[in-house]
Structure 1
Amino acid sequence: MKTRNIDRIAVLTSGGDAPGMNAAIRGVVRTAAFHNKHVYGIYGGYEGMIKGSIKRIETNDVGNIIHRGGTMLKTARSKDFYTPEGRQRAYESLQAHDIDACIVIGGNGTYTGADVFSKEFDFPMMGIPGTIDNDIFGSDFTIGFDTALNTAVDAVDKIRDTADSHSRVFFIEVMGRHSGYIALHAGIGSGATGILIPEADKTIEELVAQIKKGHKRGKLFSLVVIAEGNKNGGATEIAKAVNELYAEIETKVSIIGHLQRGGAPSCHDRVLASRLGAAAVRALLEGTYNKAVGIINNQVVYTEFEKAISEAKKPKQSLIQMAEILSM
C-alpha cells in the first residue's frame, strides 16, 4: 500500500457499544484538526458507510462528550458489508465524500471488515479496540473494559450485602460470551468464592467442593461470578446444577446484563480512548495503514489487522490460579 496525502479522515463505531467510544471520537477529531485535517463521521457503522450516512464533524461537535457513554455516531452490525456488493457501495460512498482514510472503533468483527475492505480497495484503514470484553490482541486494555468491570464489581458488592444478610449463595452472571476478562477481574476484585470463565475448565463438581469448603470453615454466604459464555451454561442453569448436588444451600441468581455497557466511562477509559484516537490519526498521517493501534506496557503499538484478528488474547493462567488461591 503506497503512502498518500491524507486530508479527509472518516471515523465510525461498529459492533457493541463501549463506554469511552465518544472519547476516542473526540481524540480523532481534535488531533486531526490540530494537523489541519478534516474528519467525517459515519453514522451507524459499516451500514452507515454503505448508505452514505456521512457528515463532517467539527471540533465543537465533540465538545462535552468525553464523559458520555455509548457513541454519538451510533453503531450497528451490517450483513451487507459481508458481501462484495455491499463493500463496493461503501467504497463509492467514501469516494463521493472524497474520504482519504477511515478509522474504525470496535472489536474483532470490526477489524475483520476493515482488513477486507482495506485490501480490496487499497484503502487506508486504522483500527481502535473498542469492546468491554478486553479480548482484542494487540492492546493490554480495550476501550470500555475498565468501566464495565467497575460496574460489575459495584453490582457484586451490592449483592454481597444481601447474600451476607440471608446466608445465601448468589450466582452472578456478567458479560463475556467468548472472554472471561470481566468475570475473572470482577471475581477477584469482589472476593468471589468461585469464578467460571470460558478459558478455564472448572466443573460443577469442583465448584460445589469449593463452596462446601468455605462453609466448613464458617463462611455463611458465597458469591460465584460467571461469564455468560462459560461451558457450564448461564447462571440459572449453574445454580440449578449446584442445588442438585448441594441441596442444603439456598441459591439466588442475578444477571447484570447490558447494565455493564452503559454509563459514564471511567477516567482510565477516557484517557485510554483519547490516546488511541490521537495515535490512530498520527499513524495515518505518517503512512501507517491497515493496522490496529493499541497500548502495551503503556507504549503505543501497531498490530497488523490479520494478527490482531487471528491471535487469541486470553487471561494469564497465573491470574486464574491466583483467583483460585484467594477464593479459599
Structure 2
Amino acid sequence: MTDKNNVPNVSQKRVKLRRIGVFTSGGDAPGMNAAIRAVTRAAIANKLKVVGIRRGYQGMIEGDFIPLKSADVSGIIQLGGTILKTARSAEFRTPEGREKAWLQLQKADIDAVVVIGGDGSFTGALTMSQEYNISFVGIPGTIDNDMYGTDYTIGYETALNTVVCAVDKIRDTAVSHGRIFLVEVMGREAGLLALNSGIACGAEVILIPESKEQHDELKRFLDKGYKNKERSGIVIVAEGDEPGGALKIAEAVGRDHPDLDVRVSILGHIQRGGSPTANDRINATRMGIAAVDALLDDQKSVMIGLDNGKIVQVPFNKAVKLNHSIDTGLLDIQKMLSM
C-alpha cells in the first residue's frame, strides 16, 4: 500500500510483535544503561512488552528474565555498568546451550531480541537466529570502538576520557621524579583507544597491535632521552601489543637502559566504569530507538551503527567478520609532535 506520493506506507511493513527481550553481553561499557532505557521506552511507546534478560546468554539459557516497565529504567541513564548484568557463557557456544536458550525464549513468549555488546555477542546472535529463525538486532557496546560498519560504539568516549584523565595525573609524577611511565590501556586486538588517548595526552610513544614499527620509535625515544638527559615521558601501550603488554616491555627497557627509572601503570578496569559522557548517552539513546524500529520493520541479524552521524544498519555477518581499520596516519601526527 502506498500513499498519494507513491511512497510505501511504513506502518504496513511493520510486523506484529508482542514482546521483545533486551540484554547486555560481554564486557560492560558506559552507556549500556542508556541503551536499555531507550529500548524499553521505545518498545513501550510502540505497544510492546519488554523483558530484560539478566547475565547475558547465560541468563537466557537459565531463564533469568525480568519484566521491564518505564519506571524500571528511570534514573539509570547516568549510571555506568549495566542493570541487567553481563556474563560470558561457554555453554551458549554449544548447540545444546543455544537450544536451551531458544526454549526459554519460547516459554517467555519473546518474539525478538535486542543484544547490546560486541562482536562475540553478535556472533552468538547470528548463529542462533540462523538456527531458530528469531530476529536479533544489535547495539554496539564496547570501549574498543572496533566494530566494522560503525564510527562509534557505546562506551568508547567515556573510556577515552577516563584514560586521558588518568594519564594527565601520571605525567605530573613522571615529570616530578624524572621517570618514564609505560601506561597500559585496554585493547587486546584493537589499538584505537591507545592511539587516540596517546595523542590526547601528548604521549611520547604509542604502542598498538596494528603497527610493529612503533617499537623502533620507542627505541629512538629512549636513546634520545638518555643522550639529552630528558628522563621523563609517557608511553601508551595497548594490552594486546605483541611483546606482551607494558610489564614485558618494561622488563626489556630495564635491561637495555638500567640507568632509566621506568615504571608501569596498568589502568585496567577503571576504563570500563564511570558515568557515561553526554555523547555516549545520546548515541546509546539513538541506537536503542533505532533497534526497536528495526525489529518493527522486520529486520533480522543487523547491527545499528553510526556513519557520519547517521543511523545505519549493518548485517551481523559483516560486522563480525570484517576488520575495523584504524587511521595509522594518526601515528605520523604523534611522531611529528613528539619530536
Alpha-carbon distance between aligned partners in 2 of 1:78 and 1:280, rounded to the nearest angstrom: 24
Distance (Å, rounded) in 1 between the aligned partners of 2:104 and 2:320: 26
Answer whether contact 1:195 1:226 (CA < 8 A) is retained.
Answer: yes
Paired residue for 2:263, among 252, 260, 275?
Answer: 252
| Post-superposition offset of 1:268 | 1.2
State the identity as a percent. Answer: 50
Aligned residue for 2:210, secondary structure, equals: coil
Aligned positions of 1:214-229 closer than 5 A: 214=225, 219-229=230-240
Runs of at least 5 residues in structure 2 that lack an aligned partner in the other structure: 1-12
Q: Check if 1:262 corresponds to 2:266.
A: no
- Report the TM-score when normalising by structure 2: 0.93
CA contact (8 A) 2:163 2:185 kept: yes
SS at match of 2:20: strand
Q: Is residue 150–residue 305 contact of structure 2 (8 Å, CA) maintained in 1? A: yes
Query: Cα distance, 1:56 vs. partner?
Result: 1.1
Whether 2:301 is the aligned partner of 1:294: answer no
Point out where structure 1 has 5 or more consecutive residues left out of the alignment.
none
Measured in 1, the distance between the counterparts of 2:218 and 2:335 equals 11
1:28-47 maps to which residues of 2 (within 5 A)? 28-47=39-58
2:172 matches 1:172: no
CA distance in 2 between partners of 1:60 and 1:247 (Å): 60
> 2:252 maps to which residue?
241
Q: Does 1:53 align with 2:64?
A: yes
Q: Which amino acid aligns with 2:184?
A: E
Pick the aligned partner of 1:279 from 290, 294, 297. 290
Structure 1 segment 190-229 matched on structure 2, within 5 A: 190-202=201-213, 204-214=215-225, 219-229=230-240
What secondary structure does 1:230 align onto?
Answer: coil
Contact 2:189 2:240 in 1 (8 A): yes
Partner of 1:10: 21
Contact 1:211 1:222 in 2 (8 A): no
Q: Could you tell me whether the CA contact under 8 Å between 1:204 and 1:241 is conserved in 2?
A: no
In 1, Cα distance between equivalents of 2:301 and 2:15? 14
Tell which deviates more after alignment, 318-327 or 30-39.
Answer: 318-327
Q: Deviations over 1:277-300 (max 9, x none)?
A: 111001111122110000010000
Q: Is the partner of 2:318 in helix, strand or coil? A: helix
Offset of 1:244 from its aligned partner? 2.1
8 Å contact from structure 2 (residues 205, 217) kept in 1: no
SS of 1:158 mapped into structure 2: helix
Quote how far apart the aligned CAs of 1:248 are: 2.5
| CA contact 2:206–2:214 (8 Å) conserved in 1 | no
1:32 and 1:286 map into 2 onto residues whose CA distance is: 13
What are the superposed Cα offsets for residues 22-81 of structure 1, whole Å, 9 maximum, x if unpaired? Answer: 000001011111111111100110111111111210010000000001000000111111
Residues 132-143 of structure 1 mapped to structure 2, 5 A cutoff: 132-143=143-154
Say whether residues 1:104 and 2:115 are aligned partners: yes
- For residues 191 and 338 of structure 2, what CA distance do their matches in structure 1 show? 17
What residue is the counterpart of 2:137 in the other structure? Answer: 126
8 Å Cα contact 1:143/1:272 also seen in 2: yes
CA distance, structure 2, for counterparts of residue 319 and residue 226 of structure 1: 15
Output aligned runs, 1:73-88, within 5 Å: 73-88=84-99
Q: Shift of the alpha carbon at 1:323?
A: 2.0
SS at match of 2:255: helix
Structure 1 length-normalised TM:
0.96
Cα distance change of structure 1 residues 3 and 123 upon mapping to structure 2, 3 Å threshold: farther
